[in-house]
Amino acid sequence: MEESVDTEDLLINLAVESWRLCRMFQRSIDASDIRAAGRQSNQIRYFQRKLDDSLAPLGLRLVTLDGQPYDVGMAATALNAADFGPEDTLYVDQMMEPIVMGPDGVRRTGTMMLRN
């Protein structure tokens, strides 16, 4: 095993997958059970805060652009950009993966879906 392991890259991978799991879990919460939904939402927020706190000492943070006007220069790949024309006013519908920012700029680009 001669390859060196970049622990920061491993942490970034873990953080992105954790973010994706939180998003999936948030969407699966049953809103009809108000008490359970509130508790589960609080657990997700707590976990996300702990994730952010773990990344902060390394100068890393996860960035999402949900709802923002789309700009070609965003540090994320639009998976459905070909579905729209050049004159369409577009917005970020949802992030599929967050952007990972480091102290020196973008560490990993995100992926997103667009909407009119």
Span 62-77, pLDDT tens digits: 999 999 999 999 999 9
The mean pLDDT value for 79-108 works out to 97
Which DSSP letter does residue 68 get?
Answer: S
Q: Where does the pLDDT of residue 3 fall: very low under 50, low under 70, confident under 90, or very high at 90 and above?
A: low
Q: What is the pLDDT of residues 5-20, one digit of tens each?
A: 799 999 999 999 999 9
User: pTM of the entire structure?
Assistant: 0.89
CB of 15 closer than 8 Å to CB of 62:
yes
H helical segments located in 30-80 = 34-55
* Paired tokens of 78: 């639009």
- Residue 106's DSSP bridge partners are 101
CB of 113 closer than 8 Å to CB of 93:
yes
CB of 111 closer than 8 Å to CB of 66:
no
Say how many Å lie between the first and final Cα of the chain, rounded: 49
Closest listed residue to residue 92, CA positions, set 63, 49, 55: 63
On average, the pLDDT of the chain sits at: 95
